[in-house]
Chains A and B, each alone.
Chain A
Amino acid sequence: MAALPTGEVLKPADAEQLGEALRWAVAETRPLEVVGGGTKRQLGRPVQSAALLDLSALSKIENYEPEELVLSARAATPLAEIEAALAARDQMLAFEPADYGRLYATANDCANGSRATLGGALACNLSGPRRIKAGAARDHLLGFKAVSGRAETFKAGGRVVKNVTGYDLCKLLAGSYGTLAAMSEVTIKVLPAPERTRTVLLFGLDDAAAIGALGAAVASPHEVSGAAHLPVPAARRSAVAYVSGAGAAVTAVRVEGFGPSVLARCAALRAQLGHLGAIEELHSKHSLTLWQEVRDATLLGAGAEGAAPRPLWRLSVPPSEGPAVAARLQAETEAEALFDWAGGLVWLAVAPSADAAHEAVRASVAAAGGHATLIRAAPEVRATVPVFQPQPPALAALSARIKANFDPAGVLNPGRMYAGV
């Protein structure tokens, strides 16, 4: 993990102290870097802060009602703790939160287990492969308590799924990277865990054929809950022998649910896709491993040992455009790709450089529609290259007005997303 800033560290023990921390920051005009478990500090533009607001003490499952499919927890409760509590009642976070921590971590960090928090996953709106079926992190945030950059404590949403009372500030806070308010407590929707998971694998398809096959699978009535394509180099890095040993590109379609239904749907998918070539099926444990690798984007690799890690881009595009976006980029620069969300999520690792090939990436996305985020790059690169997709002027102005209304003094993660926001 990067060294802590030399400034002060504020570590509130409860929501009241969190309010006090913000009152101090506003009164003294001291910008804060907001941190939960600290696993994603390298995600976003480097924050120019005077102090660290460490929320890690706000950690406790407050209220879990399995029969209501709802859970409230203090914002910095570790994801691992939440997931264990849910698993004990055969439930899960259906949005399958990604843990990008591994992309930045040293071997030592990994050995200690992830400290990624629920609040962090929600604040960055990190959703895994199941996004295509179950929705994004933002779709599961039902309510929160937070302190704004005005040092005012406020709440929004509730503890029920169906709620249209007032503006949906949950959506606004999810994906705001801590730039609008520091959440102290969140309430989320949880769902039953599937009884069974299986993955149908296709081998040797090129990118375009693979995305075509995945499109057909998600357009079928077989309720596909994961649709990824691993070109040869990515497939080779998998810990699942069926995948790494295939010697070919691997295209994966996941099916989850009640036992008899999973078996029937797998059979139907094999029949539907069988004409495309060799086919295989992964059962529970291997299937879980593969989808975790896809979820956390760990299959692209950091690059040569001892060299700077390869910059990593995350592109969100219309699914059918995925292969063309990757091909355009690969024609211009050395880039390795991985596809999730049936082509709608493209991961690209590019050769290390001062600008992380950002012009080529932006041009490629602009042609397709969508946006690109520079998930991993050296701090000096992230300070000069836009990390998030630059916005048209009207949208940028609107975002800036929202920021100004939540955090007029600019004390919460200033500049994390955009300069001035």
Chain B
Amino acid sequence: MRMPLPDQAVIAQRTELVAALREIVAADDVIADEAALRAYECDALSAYRQLPFLVVLPRDTGEVSRVLKLCGARGVKVVPRGAGTGLSGGALPLADAVTLALGKFNRILEIDYANRCVVTQPGVANLAISQAVDAAGFYYAPDPSSQIACSIGGNVAENAGGVHCLKYGLTTNNLLGLEMVLMDGEVVRFGGKQFDSEGYDLLGLTTGSEGLLGVITEVTVRILPKPSSVCALLLGFASNEAAGACVAEIIGAGIIPAGLEMMDRPAIHATEDYCHPGYPLDAEAILICELDGPEVEVDHLVARVRDFAEGCGATSVRVSQSEEERLRYWLGRKSAFPAAARIAPDYYVMDGTIPRARMPEVLNRIAALAREYDLLVANVFHAGDGNLHPLIMYDANNPGELERTEEMGSKILKYCVEVGGVLTGEHGVGVEKRDLMGEMFNEDDLNQQQRVKCAFDPAQLLNPGKMFPTLHRCAELGRMHVHRGQAAFPHLPRF
């Protein structure tokens, strides 16, 4: 992976920098020795590793502000990091950058039931928010599969999704406010507890900005009342096409399930071997369709979905009769990654999104690529919103196998774009998909995005080397190309 060249002038001032940082944060909160730095050398995209230059563990917004100001003044790059569960290398360290890890920001600050929101520090785990409000009958809707460990700050930085975002939206749709520190140390607040922010929607703009625009120090999320009942159907099909047709029928009937997941044959078998959820092993594909709401609505929709499944030739139809059974259906789906890890030493998770209707042909294309590259692929798929997660299994110890995996992965993503989809649905661009951005965007599109970066961080010190394939200087991007007096603009209708 090609990363920005380390700045030797920065590396030369390491001792001085450590001393200056220890004047801002407690001495122990600056990590400088190699053994301890090792823990931060990668995120969950572990194929890429780099020992950080330094790691700093700030404890409050003031410390974050002073650290950024110091780094900004000295031209030192900064890589923000949450829980390190990201799948696109967004928190991959740089050899000349301070990794700013927000793990000590681990407190929920306020639970405000009257306004149905929670104010929290960014290092709090996603699931901990739902747990904190559970007894009062509320939850936080976005539920990425790493929700036990992933931090809410990281969720905001990546605009994380999860199985329930079909009905309840991604992180961005469930946020009310942020506090963020800019690279010059300035502290800004976007939104609050109200439903919309004033002025430009910087809350929306910074959500999913992958740590390139600022460091998140406080998050206000909406919480929702828990549905009064939940039920899941486990549907088996003899082909991917039949499962895809059933998805189309459900959505076409105006039903938006709480979750609508698909797994293909390799994924069914891998998870069945791993945790025995009781999936139908004769099926080529299964759907898990979860419906929530008032009991009368759930009963009504379960009957309709069952009809659609049978109409599409389902080979098995099961309706969860208990909470234990419903959770068992999900157990397999949520264990897909560890199940893959048991089959092969390494696996690579893809994250393209495609129009729902193109699903069968994309799966066929993936199968053909798997044969061509001689690699095993299992597919888990947020079928309701077209978000595909092929898991490519490989062994990094076999020379050339990682490269083959990467090449196959990029072919899958290019195909997703070709059929009208996008490179990443919920994992982010990071370093992983950075060099594929040109498949979706032309130079003008990317330049305009980088100008947003210039408004927040003109020296481009915050998380460089992520998201954009080519870094242009802000002075160059700011230049206007005006062709004065060139033209009569002959085609312009005027009145």
Q: A residues within 8 Å of B by Cβ?
A: 8-13, 16-17, 20-21, 23-24, 26-27, 54, 65-70, 90-91, 125, 127, 131-132, 135-136, 138-139, 148, 150, 152-156, 158-172, 174-176, 180, 191-193, 195, 215, 218-223, 257-258, 260-261, 263-265, 268, 316-320, 341, 344-345, 369-371, 373, 388-389, 391-392, 394-395, 398-399, 401-402, 404-406, 408-409, 417-418
Known contacts A26-B480, A168-B207, A369-B193, A68 near B452 by CB under 8 Å: no
8 residue pairs, one from A and one from B, having the closest CB atoms: A171-B204, A192-B254, A261-B297, A162-B425, A371-B198, A318-B193, A405-B451, A320-B114
Residue of A nearest to B138 (CB): A219
- Which chain A residues border B251 with CB–CB below 8 Å? 67, 69
Q: How far is the CA of A139 from the CA of B207 in the complex (A)?
A: 12
- Which chain A residues border B227 with CB–CB below 8 Å? 221
Q: How far is the CA of A317 from the CA of B117 in the complex (A)?
A: 13
Determine if B357 and A67 form an interchain contact, defined as CB atoms under 8 angstroms apart.
yes
Q: How far is the CA of A102 from the CA of B471 in the complex (A)?
A: 47
Determine if A341 and B492 form an interchain contact, defined as CB atoms under 8 angstroms apart.
no
**Beyond known contacts A9-B494, A27-B487: 4 more, CB 8 A cutoff:** A163-B353, A219-B225, A261-B297, A401-B456
Determine if B444 and A160 form an interchain contact, defined as CB atoms under 8 angstroms apart.
no
State which of B204, B426, B451, B452 has its C-beta within 8 Å of the C-beta of A138: B204
Q: How far is the CA of A21 from the CA of B425 in the complex (A)?
A: 35
Determine if B198 and A11 form an interchain contact, defined as CB atoms under 8 angstroms apart.
no
Q: How far is the CA of A263 from the CA of B225 in the complex (A)?
A: 19
Determine if A155 and B441 form an interchain contact, defined as CB atoms under 8 angstroms apart.
yes
Q: How far is the CA of A169 from the CA of B300 in the complex (A)?
A: 39
Determine if A319 and B480 form an interchain contact, defined as CB atoms under 8 angstroms apart.
no
Residue of A nearest to B486 (CB): A27
Q: How far is the CA of A218 from the CA of B301 in the complex (A)?
A: 23
State which of B195, B296, B447, B492 has its C-beta within 8 Å of the C-beta of A316: B195
State which of A127, A135, A160, A164 has its C-beta within 8 Å of the C-beta of B173: A135
Give chain B interface residues in 475-495, CB to chain A under 8 Å. Answer: 477-478, 480-487, 489, 491-495
Q: How far is the CA of A406 from the CA of B112 in the complex (A)?
A: 38
Determine if B204 and A344 form an interchain contact, defined as CB atoms under 8 angstroms apart.
no
Determine if A344 and B194 form an interchain contact, defined as CB atoms under 8 angstroms apart.
yes
Determine if B294 and A370 form an interchain contact, defined as CB atoms under 8 angstroms apart.
no
Residue of A nearest to B190 (CB): A395
- Which chain A residues border B165 with CB–CB below 8 Å? 162
Interface size on B, residues (CB 8 A): 108
- Which chain A residues border B487 with CB–CB below 8 Å? 23-24, 27
Known contacts A135-B169, A168-B208, A192-B256, A391 near B193 by CB under 8 Å: no
CB distance from B194 to the nearest CB of A (A): 4
Known contacts A260-B297, A406-B451, A23 near B254 by CB under 8 Å: no
- Which chain B residues border A54 with CB–CB below 8 Å? 495
B423 lies within 8 A of chain A by Cβ:
yes
Determine if A408 and B200 form an interchain contact, defined as CB atoms under 8 angstroms apart.
no
Q: How far is the CA of A335 from the CA of B188 in the complex (A)?
A: 33
Determine if A20 and B454 form an interchain contact, defined as CB atoms under 8 angstroms apart.
no
- Which chain B residues border A168 with CB–CB below 8 Å? 159, 172, 204-205, 207-209
- Which chain B residues border A91 with CB–CB below 8 Å? 254
Q: How far is the CA of A269 from the CA of B199 in the complex (A)?
A: 36
- Which chain B residues border A154 with CB–CB below 8 Å? 444-445, 447-448
- Contact code string B414-453 (vs A, CB < 8 Å = 1, else 0): 0000001111111111000100010011001111110111
Residue of A nearest to B488 (CB): A24
State which of B112, B354, B422, B486 has its C-beta within 8 Å of the C-beta of A165: B422
Known contacts A163-B424, A166-B437, A265-B294, A320 near B484 by CB under 8 Å: no
Determine if A159 and B355 form an interchain contact, defined as CB atoms under 8 angstroms apart.
yes
State which of B112, B202, B225, B296 has its C-beta within 8 Å of the C-beta of A220: B225
Q: B residues within 8 Å of A by Cβ?
A: 112-116, 137-138, 158-159, 161, 165, 169-170, 172-173, 182, 186-190, 192-205, 207-209, 213, 225-228, 248, 251-252, 254-256, 293-297, 300-301, 353-357, 382, 385-387, 420-429, 433, 437, 440-441, 444-449, 451-456, 467, 477-478, 480-487, 489, 491-495
Determine if A24 and B195 form an interchain contact, defined as CB atoms under 8 angstroms apart.
no
Q: How far is the CA of A349 from the CA of B174 in the complex (A)?
A: 31
Determine if A165 and B489 form an interchain contact, defined as CB atoms under 8 angstroms apart.
no
Determine if A389 and B198 form an interchain contact, defined as CB atoms under 8 angstroms apart.
yes
Supply 5 A–B pairs (Cβ within 8 Å), ascending by A: A23-B483, A171-B203, A260-B296, A261-B300, A318-B194
CB distance from B197 to the nearest CB of A (A): 8
CB distance from A295 to the nearest CB of B (A): 14
CB distance from B113 to the nearest CB of A (A): 7
Residue of B nearest to A402 (CB): B455
Residue of A nearest to B204 (CB): A171
State which of A160, A164, A257 has its C-beta within 8 Å of the C-beta of B386: A160
Determine if B444 and A373 form an interchain contact, defined as CB atoms under 8 angstroms apart.
no
Q: How far is the CA of A13 from the CA of B495 in the complex (A)?
A: 13
Determine if A169 and B448 form an interchain contact, defined as CB atoms under 8 angstroms apart.
yes
Q: How far is the CA of A67 from the CA of B201 in the complex (A)?
A: 30
- Which chain A residues border B423 with CB–CB below 8 Å? 165
Name the residue in B173, B186, B448 with the highest tally of chain A Cβ atoms < 10 Å from its Cβ.
B448
Known contacts A67-B356, A150-B480, A164-B208, A175 near B421 by CB under 8 Å: no
Determine if B480 and A136 form an interchain contact, defined as CB atoms under 8 angstroms apart.
no
Q: How far is the CA of A345 from the CA of B256 in the complex (A)?
A: 28
Name the residue in B112, B159, B482, B485 with the highest tally of chain A Cβ atoms < 10 Å from its Cβ.
B482
Q: How far is the CA of A131 from the CA of B158 in the complex (A)?
A: 24
Residue of A nearest to B423 (CB): A165
CB distance from B299 to the nearest CB of A (A): 8
CB distance from B302 to the nearest CB of A (A): 12
Q: How far is the CA of A54 from the CA of B169 in the complex (A)?
A: 35
- Which chain A residues border B200 with CB–CB below 8 Å? 172, 175-176, 180, 399, 402
- Which chain A residues border B426 with CB–CB below 8 Å? 162, 164
- Which chain A residues border B354 with CB–CB below 8 Å? 160
Residue of A nearest to B454 (CB): A405
Determine if B440 and A158 form an interchain contact, defined as CB atoms under 8 angstroms apart.
yes
CB distance from B115 to the nearest CB of A (A): 5
Determine if A136 and B448 form an interchain contact, defined as CB atoms under 8 angstroms apart.
no
Q: How far is the CA of A241 from the CA of B367 in the complex (A)?
A: 63
Determine if A344 and B173 form an interchain contact, defined as CB atoms under 8 angstroms apart.
no
CB distance from A278 to the nearest CB of B (A): 25
Residue of B nearest to A219 (CB): B225
Q: How far is the CA of A219 from the CA of B222 in the complex (A)?
A: 11
Determine if B454 and A341 form an interchain contact, defined as CB atoms under 8 angstroms apart.
no
Q: How far is the CA of A6 from the CA of B337 in the complex (A)?
A: 65
Q: How far is the CA of A169 from the CA of B444 in the complex (A)?
A: 14
Residue of B nearest to A211 (CB): B114
Q: How far is the CA of A218 from the CA of B138 in the complex (A)?
A: 11
Determine if B204 and A174 form an interchain contact, defined as CB atoms under 8 angstroms apart.
yes
Q: How far is the CA of A73 from the CA of B380 in the complex (A)?
A: 32
Determine if B201 and A165 form an interchain contact, defined as CB atoms under 8 angstroms apart.
no
Determine if A136 and B357 form an interchain contact, defined as CB atoms under 8 angstroms apart.
no
Q: How far is the CA of A265 from the CA of B377 in the complex (A)?
A: 45
Determine if B205 and A172 form an interchain contact, defined as CB atoms under 8 angstroms apart.
yes
Determine if A156 and B199 form an interchain contact, defined as CB atoms under 8 angstroms apart.
no
Determine if A156 and B445 form an interchain contact, defined as CB atoms under 8 angstroms apart.
yes
Name the residue in A68, A222, A406, A418 with the highest tally of chain B Cβ atoms < 10 Å from its Cβ.
A68
- Which chain A residues border B422 with CB–CB below 8 Å? 158, 160, 163, 165
- Which chain A residues border B197 with CB–CB below 8 Å? 371
Residue of A nearest to B300 (CB): A260
Determine if B493 and A345 form an interchain contact, defined as CB atoms under 8 angstroms apart.
no
Q: How far is the CA of A17 from the CA of B492 in the complex (A)?
A: 6
Determine if A27 and B485 form an interchain contact, defined as CB atoms under 8 angstroms apart.
yes
Q: How far is the CA of A369 from the CA of B195 in the complex (A)?
A: 11
Residue of B nearest to A417 (CB): B199
Known contacts A175-B200, A261-B297, A268-B294, A160 near B448 by CB under 8 Å: no
- Which chain B residues border A170 with CB–CB below 8 Å? 204
Determine if B495 and A8 form an interchain contact, defined as CB atoms under 8 angstroms apart.
yes
Determine if A394 and B159 form an interchain contact, defined as CB atoms under 8 angstroms apart.
no
State which of B116, B454, B484 has its C-beta within 8 Å of the C-beta of A27: B484
State which of A156, A398, A406, A418 has its C-beta within 8 Å of the C-beta of B188: A398
Residue of B nearest to A91 (CB): B254
Q: How far is the CA of A319 from the CA of B192 in the complex (A)?
A: 11
